[in-house]
Amino acid sequence: MKRLLITGAAGGLGSVMRQRLASRAEILRLSDIGDMGEAAPNEEIVTCDLGDAAAVDRLVEGCDAIIHLGGVSVERPFDQILNGNIVGMYNLYEAARAHGHPRILFASSNHTVGFYRQDEQIDVTAPMRPDGLYGVSKCFGEALARLYFDKFGQETAILRIGSCFPEPKNHRMLSTWLSYDDFESLVDRVLETPMLGCPIIWGMSDNDSSWWDNSHAKYLGWKPKDNAEGFRAALEQSVERPAPDHPNAIFMGGPFTQDPIFK
């Protein structure tokens, strides 16, 4: 493709995908409100506040696809979440509608369902049960993506990311871990599949311990290869297991179910 946009390019996952996806397009357009450093020869650096509709419209113009990692990624006061995750999401979809419906991968979150228990297994038909304002903002994003698909034909892969890091950091992540390699391979399937639609995809690797059923997205042909189980022995030695009555051991959302609502 000619131009691939990555929002949130200064963040942890955005910085990694900036390197890994460099060959997927002639030009990578990178956007954030944070420092993204110097542009590589095939990069365009665009500082953009997602809450600024005119700026987002300019950002999306000329793009063939969008990896939308931008916005607030943890629990924060509502005004911060409102600007980046709600107003910003609306601005992005309006810009996509105005500029030819570039295919979107939307980084949603497991925190849309954080109050389900870890002893349950759910699929994408389970009602949302967000565990905080951040989770609520991702529920909004998912609903908006579905609206724009049904009403305007805007294709989106809604990716409910579990925990995307080099390796699991705690016992909960043995179920939620998504490796960088598996994320990258999913991006390829989202960009290449002839008919995407608007699927919800659980963002997890092929973990032995899993809570989520990804069968609704089988048609994409995505087959994650990594497994968090290989890290279990090291975690058992280095990280204390949470008490059985602690939210980290009870709820899918773990610590987010405890976090206060910020004022």
Q: What positions carry a catalytic annotation?
A: 134
DSSP SS3 for 3? strand
Question: In angstroms, rounded to a whole number, what is the distance separating the alpha carbons of residues 93 and 70?
Answer: 13
| Burial of 194: CB neighbours in 10 Å, binned 0-12, 13-18, 19+ | exposed
Rounded to the nearest 5 degrees, what angle is found at the Cα of 142, between the Cα atoms of 139 and 147? 125
Q: Which of 130, 158, 126 is nearest to 144 (CA)?
A: 158
Distance between the two ends of the chain, CA-based, in angstroms? 43
The residues, ordered by sequence, that sit 6+ positions from 54 with a Cβ below 8 Å of its Cβ are: none
Backbone angles phi, psi at 223, to 5 degrees: -130, 90
Q: In the chain, where do the E strands start and end?
A: 3-7, 27-32, 43-47, 65-68, 103-109, 156-161, 163-164, 177-178, 200-203
Question: In angstroms, rounded to a whole number, what is the distance separating the alpha carbons of residues 102 and 4?
Answer: 9
The amino acid at 176: T
Q: How far is CA 186 from CA 58, 133, 190, 213, in A?
A: 27, 27, 6, 16
The amino acid at 252: M
